[in-house]
């Protein structure tokens, strides 16, 4: 009897020990999920991302400064969830119904897209460059990673039409997270006035990019990332209203039937170059692909400005008549 009690006591200790370990592991995983959610999605200065503003040594510095010299109007928009958004609008030098909406990437604001805005303005377009939610002068606590932003930009397209007329002809262009926004927007039934898209260095889905960055930035083994990313995604669903698996460029591109130009740098290690073929294949509209050899993340334009502009101009001449 005494031996049985001793065995039972030992078994209880082992069970208690195992349960304690499981509880500690759960607490650690949940805490880690909260930490990575904050790093990825909560509005704050991201140490691993620069401002996006160029210096004099950059090949696109003159384009940036030319854009900054233009007089921008301030547009305002209230998103459907009440977030206050701010846009910067520069009308074309000559009156036109053509407007380019240019979308910035993660951790920066519209100023990072100044060279692209200047390019479209030089091509004769009105240009609208908003600050995304949780960026620049716009409100919002959580980064939309392209998914919430795509819904916001659908509203921006409607504002362009409201201000500039029903005959508006809109091109949407974005880089990095802005490219993902562009691709996701294409599958959200935007107004018929949106005639063409250009994406530069966009990811296949938020989940894919987070998985990749878990390994690339933190050296996290694949098995750990596979367990942790769904937890971070759950934080996002509860706090921001979307999960990383529904925020998929590939899934939404399948609904697109309008023209899109897909651009990617051949040496992109932040949003891997391999994503280019995946998003290109997913789109069901007229499409073209431009791979820039040797270009790093969002450096395709800077690598060969003249060729980049020609590719964009040729695409627009074909599909945005």
User: Please, which residues have CB within 8 angstroms of residue 200's CB and are 6 or more apart in sequence?
Assistant: 173, 174, 175, 176, 179, 263, 264, 298, 300, 301
Q: Which one has a higher pLDDT value, 40 or 90?
A: 90
What pLDDT, on a 0 to 100 scale, did the predictor assign at position 38? 83
- Please name the helix (run of DSSP H) or strand (run of DSSP E) that holds residue 85, with its range, or none: strand 84-90
What pLDDT, on a 0 to 100 scale, did the predictor assign at position 6? 52
Q: How far is CA 32 from CA 228, 230, 299, in A?
A: 8, 12, 33
Measured CA to CA, the distance from residue 301 to residue 173 in angstroms comes to 13
Q: What is the mean pLDDT of the chain?
A: 91
What are the pLDDT digits (tens) for 239-249?
999 999 999 99
DSSP designation for 51: -
Residue 26 has pLDDT above 70, yes or no: no
Find, among 247, 237, 210, 238, the residue nearest to 225 by Cα: 210
Least confident of 4-8, 102-106, 317-321: 4-8
Across the range 261-282, mean pLDDT stands at: 97
Cα dihedral: 261, 267, 270, 271 (round 10):
30
Pairing of strands 194-200, 169-175: parallel
Find, among 246, 109, 96, the residue nearest to 171 by Cα: 96
Beta strands across the sheet bearing 98-103: 73-78, 84-90, 126-131, 98-103, 169-175, 194-200, 260-265, 287-292
Q: How far is CA 247 from CA 28, 281, 296, in A?
A: 26, 18, 24
Across the range 288-300, mean pLDDT stands at: 97
Angle subtended at Cα 164 by Cα 159 and Cα 170, rounded to the nearest 5 degrees: 75
- The reported pTM is 0.90
pLDDT classification of 138: cutoffs 50, 70, 90: very high
Q: How far is CA 159 from CA 151, 166, 204, 235, in A?
A: 13, 11, 28, 32
Two tokens at 231? Answer: 């937890």
What pLDDT, on a 0 to 100 scale, did the predictor assign at position 120? 98
Percent with pLDDT over 90 in the chain: 76
61-68 and 114-122 helices, crossing angle to 10°: 80
DSSP designation for 296: -
Residue 109 has pLDDT above 90, yes or no: yes
Q: What is the end-to-end Cα distance of the chain in Å, rounded? A: 92
- Please name the helix (run of DSSP H) or strand (run of DSSP E) that holds residue 128, with its range, or none: strand 126-131
pLDDT classification of 37: cutoffs 50, 70, 90: confident
Measured CA to CA, the distance from residue 153 to residue 15 in angstroms comes to 54
With tokens 């130009």, the residue in question is: 261
Two tokens at 51? Answer: 């401002």
What are the pLDDT digits (tens) for 66-94?
999 999 999 999 999 999 999 999 999 99
């Amino acid at each position: 009897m005494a031996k049985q009690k001793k065995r039972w006591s030992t078994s209880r200790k082992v069970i208690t020990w195992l349960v304690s370990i499981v509880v500690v592991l759960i607490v650690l995983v949940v805490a880690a999920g909260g930490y990575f959610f904050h790093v990825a999605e909560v509005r704050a200065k991201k140490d691993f991302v620069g401002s996006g503003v160029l210096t004099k040594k950059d090949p696109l510095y003159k384009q940036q400064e030319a854009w900054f010299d233009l007089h921008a109007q301030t547009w305002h928009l209230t998103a459907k969830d009440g977030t206050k958004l701010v846009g910067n609008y520069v009308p074309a030098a000559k009156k036109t119904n053509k407007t380019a909406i240019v979308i910035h990437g993660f951790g920066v604001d519209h100023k990072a897209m100044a060279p692209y805005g200047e390019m479209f303005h030089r091509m004769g377009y009105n240009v609208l460059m908003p600050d995304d939610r949780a960026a620049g002068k716009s409100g919002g606590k959580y980064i939309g990673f392209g998914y919430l932003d795509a819904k916001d930009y659908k509203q921006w397209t409607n504002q362009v039409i409201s201000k500039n007329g029903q005959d508006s002809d809109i091109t949407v262009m974005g880089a990095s997270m802005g490219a993902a926004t562009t691709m996701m927007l294409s599958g959200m039934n935007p107004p018929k006035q949106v005639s063409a898209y250009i994406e530069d260095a966009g990811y296949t889905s938020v989940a894919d990019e987070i998985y990749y960055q878990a390994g690339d930035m933190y050296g996290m083994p694949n098995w750990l990332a596979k367990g942790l990313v769904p937890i971070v995604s759950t934080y996002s669903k509860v706090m921001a209203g979307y999960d990383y698996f529904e925020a998929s460029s590939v899934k939404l591109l399948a609904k697109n039937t309008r023209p899109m130009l897909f651009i990617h740098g051949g040496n992109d290690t932040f949003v891997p170059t391999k994503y280019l073929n995946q998003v290109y294949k997913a789109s069901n509209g007229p499409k073209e692909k431009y791979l820039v050899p040797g270009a790093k993340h969002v450096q395709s334009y800077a690598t060969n400005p003249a060729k980049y502009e020609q590719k964009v101009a040729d695409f627009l001449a074909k599909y945005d008549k």
